[in-house]
Chains A and B, each alone.
Chain A
């Protein structure tokens, strides 16, 4: 991955000045590069990874495996686009293997998840079956560890 994108991926709050120092480039150069990446749609947005256990206890997340019958011409795109449009949906991936779409959901209660799956997802034309897995514990997200890292055991030699 491009070094600039790599830096922004782990910390999107680095200033242009800080990025410039670390990459040995000028601040103007960095500003122009980021603008170009945003304009051309390479950078889609900036988000924050935080520990939801601390700030929002009332949420439930689940990943739903969907088997889908692809439609002529549009394949999986139409269904995927439809599912992605719901605000409860955090991510949608077309995957290889035993099922087709992997959908990550965030709701407030277990009931909301089951209602969503039963009433919204399962009823979509073309959806053959659904399997729901609830999240129990998050360990790592977007490349960032959510649990404490091992202590530094190195000694000075």
Chain B
């Protein structure tokens, strides 16, 4: 059977994630010190796990309402209001999704028709482009730069806007750079979009992991609510990746149609996870603060350590990644990662996995213990020393 004739050509054309590639090699090698994961090293706070156990004990294992349990949507509404100052109606303006990923997928599929352009700042998480392409949309990339703190600028955005622009994706705090957008950074963007028909998909999955500067959402700016789909979730803030739970908030006129896609594709998000998530929003503020404080110390440690060993490193203000520049080694990102993996058994992700402009950088996750990070940095320092001596 010739499968190549049967397959959807858009699916065939999708390139596999550049993150997986190194994981597969690392897994075969064994005994590798990884700095590659994109999920917290902390266990889900016990009170959340206990709620899940209780839900199981009580036999809460049926489907929930399509948009999610109403008590959870109410909590999400209150929580989002407390963080952004914007209120969403639990009935019609909130959908509980299978991770932030599904919320991104739903937003794109609800809005983007074939030929529509979707503006994506890069470097950024690997899923936006393929999802846009699957709908027949056209990804339009804006390259952000280290000198500019990897921020999206209104001037750069203005250049890319055409009469086909449907959606702008705002991936901040950013994976992989750790860049954030402050209120001052967002205001010119909002001004530019005001009066247009462009919708914003703001992916704020790392919103709770901001250091120093308090996270600010574009939806908090006047008149942005009507054109914004706000995506967040439980994975990063509450260390709940495997629970697969996120949510989207936005205008009823959009979400009514997203809900149909969710209903037919997913039915409802995991029930036990939803019960547990209610507890997360109600009572885990201190746990989140403790985890953030620990990430902050690791972040400072890593930025200092990379700069000391000769890899210039931008000080990220959010998420749990640092994005050191490796251009001084004369290697490409791929060469750097491959050689480091084979010679020192340390796995990092090449920056170009997150867009071409990530070339010359590597993504290093600090969702690891300080001891683990220290061992890895020592190995990278040895690797750099050996590179120098080989010249």
* Smallest CB separation, B233 vs chain A (Å): 14
Known: A22-B300, A156-B20. A3 touches B34 (CB 8 A): no
User: How long is the Cα–Cα vector from A157 to B100 in the complex, in angstroms?
Assistant: 14
User: How long is the Cα–Cα vector from A155 to B25 in the complex, in angstroms?
Assistant: 12
Complex contact B23–A156 (CB within 8 A): yes
Complex contact A156–B301 (CB within 8 A): no
Complex contact B37–A156 (CB within 8 A): yes
Q: Mark B110-141, 1 if CB is under 8 A from A, else 0.
A: 00000000000000000000000000000000
Complex contact B297–A156 (CB within 8 A): no
Known: A3-B293, A156-B38, A157-B38. A23 touches B300 (CB 8 A): yes
Q: Which of B8-36 contact A (CB under 8 A)?
A: 17, 19-20, 22-23, 26, 34, 36
Q: Give the bracket for the number of chain A residues in contact with chain B.
A: 10 to 19
Q: Which of A3-21 contact B (CB under 8 A)?
A: 3, 7, 18, 21
Residues of A within 8 A of B17 (CB): 157
* Smallest CB separation, A152 vs chain B (Å): 7
Does B187 sit at the interface, judged by CB under 8 A?
no
Known: A156-B38, A157-B38. A24 touches B293 (CB 8 A): no
Known: A21-B304, A152-B34. A157 touches B297 (CB 8 A): no
* Smallest CB separation, B14 vs chain A (Å): 16
* Smallest CB separation, A124 vs chain B (Å): 40
Does A154 sit at the interface, judged by CB under 8 A?
yes
Complex contact A154–B39 (CB within 8 A): yes
Q: Which of A104-157 contact B (CB under 8 A)?
A: 152, 154-157
* Smallest CB separation, B115 vs chain A (Å): 30
Q: Which of A65-99 contact B (CB under 8 A)?
A: none
Which residue on chain B has the smallest CB distance to residue A1? B290
Residues of A within 8 A of B20 (CB): 156-157
Complex contact A155–B297 (CB within 8 A): no
**Count of chain B residues near A, Cβ 8 A:** 21
Residues of A within 8 A of B367 (CB): 154
Residues of B within 8 A of A23 (CB): 297, 300
User: How long is the Cα–Cα vector from A20 to B272 in the complex, in angstroms?
Assistant: 43
Complex contact B22–A156 (CB within 8 A): yes
Q: Mark B224-239, 1 if CB is under 8 A from A, else 0.
A: 0000000000000000
Does B96 sit at the interface, judged by CB under 8 A?
no
Complex contact A156–B34 (CB within 8 A): yes
Which residue on chain B has the smallest CB distance to residue A14? B370
Q: Which of B204-262 contact A (CB under 8 A)?
A: none
Q: Which of B25-71 contact A (CB under 8 A)?
A: 26, 34, 36-39, 41
User: How long is the Cα–Cα vector from A155 to B38 in the complex, in angstroms?
Assistant: 8
Residues of A within 8 A of B349 (CB): 156
**A-B CB contact pairs (8 Å), 26 listed:** A3-B293, A7-B297, A21-B301, A21-B304, A22-B297, A22-B298, A22-B300, A23-B297, A23-B300, A24-B300, A152-B34, A154-B34, A154-B37, A155-B23, A155-B37, A156-B19, A156-B20, A156-B22, A156-B23, A156-B36, A156-B37, A156-B38, A157-B17, A157-B20, A157-B37, A157-B39
B-contacting residues of A (Cβ < 8 Å)? 3, 7, 18, 21-24, 152, 154-157
Other A-B contacts than A21-B304, A157-B17, A157-B38, 16 sampled, CB-CB below 8 A, are A3-B297, A21-B301, A22-B300, A24-B300, A152-B41, A154-B41, A155-B23, A156-B22, A156-B23, A156-B36, A156-B37, A156-B347, A156-B349, A157-B19, A157-B20, A157-B37
CB-CB nearest 3 A-B residue pairs: A156-B23, A156-B36, A22-B297
